[in-house]
Amino acid sequence: MKFIIITGFFIAIVSLHSTYSEVPKLIDKLPHVKVNKCCGKKEIYIGKHCILTNTTTEEWKPLFVTEKGVSNVQVNYELIIGLPDCGHMQRWPIYHYINSTDKLRLLPNGILRHYFDHTGVNELDIDSENAKVPYHDYEQGKYCLDKKEDGVKSDFAWVCAPDVNKDWLTNTEFLMYNVVNPITHGISMLCLLIVAIIYFVMPTLRDLTGNIITTICMCLIVSQTADMIRLLTVFKNHISLIITETICYISMLAAFFWLNSLAYYIWKTFKSRNVFLRITDGKKYCYYSGYAWSCTILLGVMAVFAHFTMDYPDVNLPPKITYEEEREQIGSLGIIIFFVPVSFTILADMFFFATTLKKINKMHTYGRIHHKLRHTFRMFVLLLMVMVLQWLFFLSSFSKYEGLVNAYIFINTFEGPLLLYVCIFNQRHVAYLIQKTCCYTTCPCCIRDPEVEWGDEMTAMNTLNNY
């Protein structure tokens, strides 16, 4: 009897020990669930950088939660270090902290679920049976998780933005940034390119004024191209925003310095008593090039240097649900160095405009050069008005209000067509040359006595004699 009792007790102890010893073995036999971690195994986000933690309590470990809210689920997982590969789509940061409108849950199968009801959602609403909280699931490889400390502790995730398929027609932000934005910039660039080609091809237009107009148009084309790329939201992972914004700001700064050179040239010519100076337009263009490009390059280098060395430090504010916070952009100090000189060139242009207009009103007789410069002066005034208006709307695009950004994208459509009108159709001299080249040489029946400006008499006579 004692032998039977001892044997039964021994069998019970062995079976109980085998039951507990099989639990980790059963977990080990489960399939590995891969979880992406943004930083290293012993690192977390401090601000915008991965920092090595001092204690093990600060380390991040994945917490698996079922769809019904059951936490601390035992899962056999494997950490994959690195950011997700989003291809042509952009990365989007998500913050999950106390009372945040976004909630993150790592499901036992390795899928990251993002609840994004911004009307005020809590854990009870998510776990309730009748919950209708919208969410989106990110598969393994399309996200990475980590802990973030930036004034407020939060769970942090980089995710690949969902591919926009049927919803893009109703997504206003996507339409404005990725559809309307390229169209408006494309229209302006095409018009600016037409102006640059006409002033570069026509021999009689390749004087100092024509070369300055061509240079301004080329600077604005580069600025428009970089600005279009800056506003796109679908190819941000394949370009450097620092390089794109630097090119945009430098080319815009150069355009305003060249406009200032044109203003100075008109002012100096009207002020001078002897306009027949022994200096060619080529030498004058070289002198103005030295002024415009040296100032542009110097200020551009200073702005980039200030951005990387002396820019304002980040303010420890609570995390916001926006991707703009993590984008590497030109800082506030760099933008100030870029745009404050533009305002000074505008003030200088206004001074040149006022003094030149006063000088013109006092003149009673005009020579050939003064007569031609009167039309150049009118073109300069219209150019100044168009470029300043576009620059003011460009500054408004840095606002956090989407309405101002959309207004800038819409207004930007008119810069190129307005410059085309100001430099081509509003100049009878230029319009006549285009008419002569495109019409007189191809259709003799179009010949009639045109109203020519001074300097075009011989061109008109040669054209008429050829027929």
Q: Could you tell me if residue 253 is inside a domain? A: yes
Q: Among the three residues 390, 405, 426, which one is the final residue of a domain in this structure?
A: 426
Q: Could you tell me if residue 330 is inside a domain? A: yes
| Residues 118 and 220 placed together within one structural domain of the fold | no
| Residues 243 and 332 placed together within one structural domain of the fold | yes
| Residues 397 and 296 placed together within one structural domain of the fold | yes
| Residues 295 and 331 placed together within one structural domain of the fold | yes
Contact indicator for 17, 128 with CB cutoff of 8 Å: no
Per-residue model confidence (pLDDT) at position 230: 85
- Mean pLDDT along residues 318-328: 41
User: What is the three-state SS of the chain?
Assistant: CHHHHHHHHHHHHHHHHHHHHHHHHHHHHCCCEEEEECCCCCEEEECCEEEECCCHHHCCCCCECCCCCCCCCCCCEEEEECCCCCCCCCEEEEEECCCCCCEEEECCCCCEEEECCCCCCCHHHHHCCCCCCCEEEECCCCEEEEEEECCCEEEEEEEECCCCCCHHHCCHHHHHHHHHHHHHHHHHHHHHHHHHHHHHHCHHHCCHHHHHHHHHHHHHHHHHHHHHHHHCCCCHHHCCHHHHHHHHHHHHHHHHHHHHHHHHHHHHHHHCCCCCCCCCHHHHHHHHHHHHHHHHHHHHHHHHHHHHHCCCCCCCCCCCCCCHHHCCCCCHHHHHHHHHHHHHHHHHHHHHHHHHHHHHHHCCCCCHHHHHHHHHHHHHHHHHHHHHHHHHHHHHCCCCCHHHHHHHHHHHHHHHHHHHHHHHHCCHHHHHHHHHHHHHCCCHHHCCCCCCCCCCHHHHHHHHHCC
| Residues 175 and 296 placed together within one structural domain of the fold | yes
| pLDDT at residue 272 is higher than 50 | yes
Q: Could you tell me if residue 212 is inside a domain? A: yes
Question: Highest mean pLDDT: which of 38-42, 136-140, 411-415?
Answer: 411-415
- Mean pLDDT along residues 76-98: 81
Per-residue model confidence (pLDDT) at position 351: 95
| Residues 221 and 148 placed together within one structural domain of the fold | no
| Residues 57 and 106 placed together within one structural domain of the fold | yes
| pLDDT at residue 56 is higher than 80 | no
Half-sphere exposure for 206 (CA within 13 Å, toward CB)? 6
CA torsion 226-232-238-244 (nearest 10°) is 20
| Residues 108 and 231 placed together within one structural domain of the fold | no
CATH code at position 90 = 2.170.180
pLDDT tens per residue across span 91-126: 788 888 877 778 888 888 888 888 876 555 555 456
Q: Among the three residues 142, 163, 184, which one is the final residue of a domain in this structure?
A: 163
- With a pLDDT cut of 90, the percent of the chain lying above it is 28
Give the whole-angstrom CA distance, residue 101 versus residue 82.
26
Give the whole-angstrom CA distance, residue 71 versus residue 67.
10
| Residues 103 and 198 placed together within one structural domain of the fold | no
Give the whole-angstrom CA distance, residue 384 versus residue 346.
8
| Residues 374 and 284 placed together within one structural domain of the fold | yes
Q: Among the three residues 163, 196, 231, which one is the final residue of a domain in this structure?
A: 163
Q: Could you tell me if residue 374 is inside a domain? A: yes
Summary mean pLDDT of the chain = 77
Q: Could you tell me if residue 23 is inside a domain? A: no
Kindly give, in sequence order, each residue whose CB lies less than 8 Å from that of residue 267, ignoring residues fewer than 6 positions away.
Answer: 352, 355, 356
| Residues 158 and 248 placed together within one structural domain of the fold | no
Confidence label for 1 from pLDDT (cuts 50, 70 and 90)? low
Number of domains in the chain: 2
CATH code at position 367 = 1.20.1070.10
| Residues 192 and 105 placed together within one structural domain of the fold | no
Higher pLDDT, 158 or 172: 158
Question: What is the side-by-side strand order in the sheet with 135-138?
Answer: 103-106, 112-115, 135-138
Confidence label for 326 from pLDDT (cuts 50, 70 and 90)? very low
| pLDDT at residue 328 is higher than 80 | no
The domain in which residue 360 lies consists of: 169-426
Confidence label for 440 from pLDDT (cuts 50, 70 and 90)? low
Q: Could you tell me if residue 106 is inside a domain? A: yes
Q: Could you tell me if residue 310 is inside a domain? A: yes
Question: Highest mean pLDDT: which of 11-25, 74-88, 110-124, 229-243?
Answer: 74-88
Per-residue model confidence (pLDDT) at position 441: 54
pLDDT tens per residue across span 14-51: 454 444 444 444 444 555 788 888 888 888 888 777 88
- Mean pLDDT along residues 353-377: 80
